[in-house]
Amino acid sequence: MHAWTFEAIGTAWQIDTREPLAPDVRAAVLGRIERFDEVWSRFRDDSLVAAVARGAGRWHVPDEAGALFELFTELDDVTDGAVNPLVGQTLSDLGYDASYSLTASDEPAGTPPWSSIDLSAGVLTTSGPVLIDVGAAGKGLLVDLVAGIVGREVDQLTVDASGDLYHGGTAPLRIALEHPLDAARAIGVAEIGPGDALCASATNRRAWGDGLHHVLDARTGRPTSDVIATWVVAPRSCMRADGLATAHFFADPALLMERFDHQFVRMHADGRVQWSPDLPGEIFT
């Protein structure tokens, strides 16, 4: 397999294919990532998200917004509001802002309810400034979009965006589940088949200050502390795997398993590990 590695949206990417991708395919991938960033990044002044954060209005959004917002509505419901992409201003006030100040405000902003914005017929309507953060599922969606471009040209591929992985090969792929407290160890191995996605999330991946990290409970405006890492295997959609990996920090696994087709692993701060009965792989600890 040939590995194409590059940096984009602040993270490392690797796309594995049997043969090197043609220059026009690589250009299409990089162009799609840039267009996605122009819409959804809260770290650049010229993005659509930055415009929405400046005040009330109506904005035309790209087609992918429909599936993304539909998933966020499901996750908001199943987690009783803990997963809510309107948490962006809270994250920013806690120090995870556009300038990466990593300095927390004494009084971070609260999070508006997800129902306070509306998306209909490709138009986003807000009644006031809101800072959207699609990090709970957005990178997974971008992996799906990139895999779609590459998959039109080759019959075997794996797209890995640092924890968000889509496998389009013809044989299963075994992935080590990195221990969140020791990168030299794995807590287990997951096997993903062709068309499956694996997403991992951990509180140590973007952490700063005393107990501050990027996985916030939108209901309280504070970082979660019980669960410290999650992994989800889901069919056909890295976006859904990504969103469910976030939801497993907050919701009862039994409820998530009942409502969504996926398998999971989650690790608690006290070292306990839970996993779904039909997990394709094994847990060591």
Is residue 210 within 8 A of residue 72, CB to CB? The reply is no
Q: Tell me the one-letter amino acid at 74.
A: E
CA 230 and chain centroid, separation: 12
Q: What pLDDT sits at residue 35?
A: 97
38: pLDDT strictly greater than 90: yes
Maximum CA pair distance of the chain?
53
Q: How far apart are the first and last CA of the chain?
A: 32
Per-residue pLDDT of 74-99, as tens digits, reads 999 999 999 999 999 999 988 877 87
Residue 207's pLDDT band (boundaries 50, 70, 90)? Answer: low
Per-residue pLDDT of 165-193, as tens digits, reads 999 978 899 999 999 888 889 999 999 99
DSSP 8-state class, residue 220:
T
Q: What pLDDT sits at residue 93?
A: 86
pLDDT (mean) for 23-52: 97
Domain ranges in the chain? 2-17+157-283
* Environment class of 39 (CB within 10 Å of its CB; exposed 0-12, middle 13-18, buried 19+): middle
CATH number of this structure's domain 2-17+157-283: 3.10.520.10
HSE, CB side, 13 Å, CA atoms: give it for residue 98. Answer: 14
DSSP 8-state class, residue 20:
P
Token pair 């075997």: residue: 156
pTM score:
0.94
- Give the number of other CB atoms < 10 A from CB of residue 161: 23
